[in-house]
Amino acid sequence: MSTRPHTTAYRGDRLWLAAMIHRVSGVLLAAFLPLHFLVLGLAISNEAQLDGFLHWTKAPLVKLAETGLVLLLAIHLLGGIRVLLIENMPWREGQKRMATIAAIAAMAVAGVFLVAVL
């Protein structure tokens, strides 16, 4: 039985990086969900605590965190579209360029959100 030596040379590739960022953004979005559900619960059960939480969300650091959340959503959405294209369309040479453009688009979406909330 012949075995090939283990290599990690592919890890510097833009498409590998795009796939890894897609996975990490999914994990971070999943980590945000308990907080989201907590706030939804406050909206149902305790109006005073919800008002206090909503007042806290006006802080600049929270606005920055919301911008990060929008960035994660945009990255994960564009990464998911990329996966759908890879799995359902023939391979094309420009996919690395498209992954780079998707990353720039995600940052632009987050930038527009940041400008809108500040």
Distance CA 68, CA 55 (A): 19
Whether 24 maps to a domain, the answer reads yes
The two three-digit tokens of residue 31, written as one number: 């980590």
Q: What is the pLDDT of residues 49-67, one digit of tens each?
A: 888 888 998 999 999 999 9
Whether 14 maps to a domain, the answer reads yes
pTM comes to 0.67
Helix (H, G, I), strand (E, B) or coil at 5: coil
Domain count, the chain: 1
Whether 4 maps to a domain, the answer reads no
Whether 34 maps to a domain, the answer reads yes
Q: Which domain holds residue 28?
A: 9-117
Distances (CA, A) of 35 to 4, 38, 82: 45, 5, 28
Whether 78 maps to a domain, the answer reads yes
Whether 21 maps to a domain, the answer reads yes
Whether 98 maps to a domain, the answer reads yes
Residue 105 C-alpha from the chain's centroid: 12
CATH label of the domain that carries residue 59: 1.20.1300.10
Average pLDDT of span 26-33: 92
